[in-house]
A and B are shown apart, each in its own frame.
Chain A
Amino acid sequence: MSKKKLFMPLSTFLRRSLYSIPPYCPFDSSQFKCSTYISLPTPPFTPYNHLSHDPSRYFLLNAGISVKSVCSVSSQKIETRCWNCHATPESAPFLVCQSCRSIQPADKSIDYFDIFGLEKNYDIEVSTLEGKYKNWQKKLHPDLVHSKSEKERDFAAEQSAKVIDAYRTLTRPLSRAIYLLKLEGIEVDEEQTVSDPELLAEIMEIRGAVEEAADSEALNHILSEMQEKVKHWSNVFANAFQSRNFEEAKSSIQRMTYYERVTDAAAKKL
């Protein structure tokens, strides 16, 4: 096991703010009591907390936090009611009560695809995300609930952050792919050393090309080349994921990661 695997983000030790969650909430509230305390060692992980980071730092999350537990939660449906008016939800996902418009506490069984009303597929219509994202924000954004109770403002902060992360994660092909695997309980170590000599040689070559690129024309050429490659491997991933060939899915994610990094490097130089 590589040493890098041990890195963890701070957010795994503590959760911001500290929502004073009412006891009848469908998850454990004992760890969060006061808004200025940091609940130290306990691992009260909600899935989005881990995923609220750049895919480039997903490796930080591999510290043995079971993502499978997330999936197991989603399989057992919890009986949910609005904390305010006790109405039963009319439609899923239940982020806001339809009867009293109260914002609900974040429910970890709701994943990013649920939020956008999507099937857990790699191929999604990215252009439809923005509209749904904005619709959610209009109901959830902390800026809009200042007249509500402190409890609900905390819910708003939490839910709104979750929707932002969901939008960010699903918009970009690479983070979407990593997230899909994560939902399957598969961790992707992006920092894994390249063992395939062919790929290694290719990476060195492209890196050299970026370094030597003298003008924007050459850089743009590299950029379009990389876009093609990302597209290709994105298709490979889609097929592999469809047929549940997770090893191949993982290696295509690795490829996409490298090409995206080159893209970033080239774009920076441009």
Chain B
Amino acid sequence: MAEASYTVASDSETIGEDKSSAFPEIAIGIDIGTSQCSVAVWNGSEVELLKNTRNQKIMRSYVTFKDDTPSGGVSSQLSQEHDLLSGATIFNMKRLIGRVDTDPVVHSSKNLPFLVQTLDIGVRPFIAALVNNMWRSTTPEEVLAIFLVELRVMAEAQLKRPIRNVVLTVPVSFSRFQLTRIERACAMAGLHVLRLMPEPTAVALLYGQQQQQSSHDNMGSGSEKIALIFNMGAGYCDVAVTATAGGVSQIKALAGSTIGGEDLLQNMMHYLLPESQTLFKTHGIKEIKSMALLRVATEDAIHRLSSQISVQIDLDLGDGLKINKVINRDEFEEVNRKVFVKCESLIIQCLQDAKVEVEDVNDVIVVGGCSYIPKVKNLVASMFNGKELYNGVNPLEAAVRGAAVEGAVASGINDPFGNLDLLTIQATPLAIGIRADGNNFVPVIPRNTTMPARRDLVFTTCHDNQTEALIIVYEGEEKKAEENHLLGYFKVVGIPEAPKGVPEINVCMDIDAANVLRVLVGVVMPGSRQPTIPIMEVRMPTVDDGHGWCVEALNRKCGNTQDLVTVQKKV
């Protein structure tokens, strides 16, 4: 151990933490939501949410650009509404981070009251804020980093120590590429990511802790409990099934989608003003103001519909454009029917993947901002035969509290009462595989595989005397390769000439304990037990921004000459 004194962090790696320090620093938990963010920390006996100078525990996730000094929702004292109307405020970055401009989610963000411009060729979208009548460009990473810095400053002031290690919660549907973007934003803010937790698994950890505490109190045997966690925020909807016993939570299945409060809001805005897209297309100062006004009023109406049966909307968007309408709850639910159907299907899929029946679920936990919407609560409860929802967690704080607990556990903190005697065994949220059999996505590690995981699958050539094979690695659930998230690609060369179907191309995927994905490819000829060429090991993701181009370029360049097929199973 003594020799290795100089190490070079891998290119795709952030700098390793200093493991030798005698007093472990407790990592803080951060929930950076699409619309709101919060920070929590284990204070030695329990989780505590940190407050900003305005005594808020939950802050808005936005950044206002002004005269060269951007300020975020954590510290900003200014009226958000005013900045919003001027186009200087950027938000919803969690929906845009790591996405290319052909992504439908990016397109649906074009009517936000700032500039989201697409060229529709698979590059990063252009994002800009209007400052002093000038478009100032920015990136999702930069915006996230700005309020991460503010969160960090706030936490350092309160905890009176420097903060470096963090546990962040992320949506289930984030690809590994998107995770690298989150890590990038953290690095820009001087933070080291100790762990990225899918949001519902943070809630699962909190639930596991509560179950363990209550079994201690009752001196119970701590029998296994199965919980379904439904987490719907502004940007994403996630579901998890967890089985917990004795402080150990096994994530049985995860399901997630990019739907959330933002979609409800967009649908309502479209309902109130169907021609808004064309009206606001030019993104002038006036249009931005109208868009923002419509947005604020609609958001407010949706919030009020959680407690009222109907709301009156009176809105003057300027230029004689007026909206005077009464919206009732039924209308709201009808306009958003598709979103709610999608929520249901996520729950069904998650239960099926977990091989758990509705009757087996002990607790149903509904969290996230959308959990205040009556329809959301009702639809989940009705799927569990009207079961009463778990009320042991605060819907807005559950994820960040779970992240704080994980921060303490992952920092190696001991609790004399055993409150940190916890473990979450994670599962892969998305399948990882390669393109093969034409343009199909062939998973090598299926989704919901317990991590760490290692699987391999044998492929073979599809042309006679094919000496090269292109390995294109994707992550996702879609059948067609290009509809999944691209993680990277590389070529295997030097395959011995042989009739098609003879060389064995073995693709092995390995996710280690630190959630690092490695793809290994070896070539074996029948009759030999040794690989014929050196095995290739590639750490993924390798793609950078603008990767939408790459696969098309590859296709143009190579056609199908370097394709692979799976080795067919017999009947």
State the A residues within 8 Å of B (CB). 3-4, 6-11, 13-14, 16-17, 38, 40-41, 43, 52-54, 56-57, 60, 63-64, 130-131, 134-135, 137-138, 141-144, 146-147, 149-150, 153, 156-157, 160-161, 164, 168, 191, 193-194, 200, 203-204, 207
Which residues on A sit within 8 Å (CB–CB) of B514?
142
Contact B452 A160 (CB under 8 A): yes
Which residues on B sit within 8 Å (CB–CB) of A194?
571
A131, A134, A149, A207 — most chain B CB neighbours (10 Å): A134
Cβ-defined partner of B423 (8 Å) among A38, A141, A153, A203 = A141
A interface, by DSSP: helix, strand, loop or mixed?
helix
B24 on the A face (CB < 8 A):
yes
Contact B520 A10 (CB under 8 A): yes
Contact A143 B504 (CB under 8 A): no
A131-B246, A138-B248 given; name 8 further pairs at CB < 8 Å.
A6-B527, A16-B510, A38-B520, A137-B423, A142-B513, A143-B410, A143-B424, A157-B513
B455 on the A face (CB < 8 A):
yes
Tell me the smallest distance from the CB of B158 to a CB of chain A, in Å.
25
Q: How many residue-residue contacts, CB under 8 A, span A and B?
A: 127
Cβ-defined partner of B245 (8 Å) among A16, A60, A131 = A131
Tell me the smallest distance from the CB of B506 to a CB of chain A, in Å.
4
Tell me the smallest distance from the CB of B398 to a CB of chain A, in Å.
20
Of the A-B pairs whose beta carbons lie under 8 Å apart in the complex, a sample of 30, sorted by A's number, is A3-B526, A6-B504, A10-B508, A10-B521, A10-B522, A11-B456, A11-B508, A13-B522, A16-B518, A17-B512, A38-B537, A41-B530, A41-B531, A43-B529, A53-B455, A54-B455, A131-B246, A134-B250, A135-B246, A137-B423, A137-B425, A138-B423, A142-B514, A143-B409, A146-B412, A149-B1, A153-B513, A157-B513, A164-B450, A191-B569
Which residues on A sit within 8 Å (CB–CB) of B411?
146
B243 on the A face (CB < 8 A):
yes
CB-nearest residue of chain A to B450? A164
CB-nearest residue of chain A to B421? A138
CB-nearest residue of chain B to A192? B570
State the B residues within 8 Å of A (CB). 1, 19, 24, 224, 243, 245-248, 250, 409-412, 421, 423-425, 450, 452, 454-458, 504, 506-508, 510, 512-514, 518, 520-522, 524, 526-527, 529-531, 534-535, 537, 567, 569-571
Contact B454 A143 (CB under 8 A): no
A56, A57, A156 — most chain B CB neighbours (10 Å): A57
B1, B518, B531 — most chain A CB neighbours (10 Å): B531
Contact B224 A16 (CB under 8 A): no
Which residues on A sit within 8 Å (CB–CB) of B534?
40
Contact A134 B452 (CB under 8 A): no
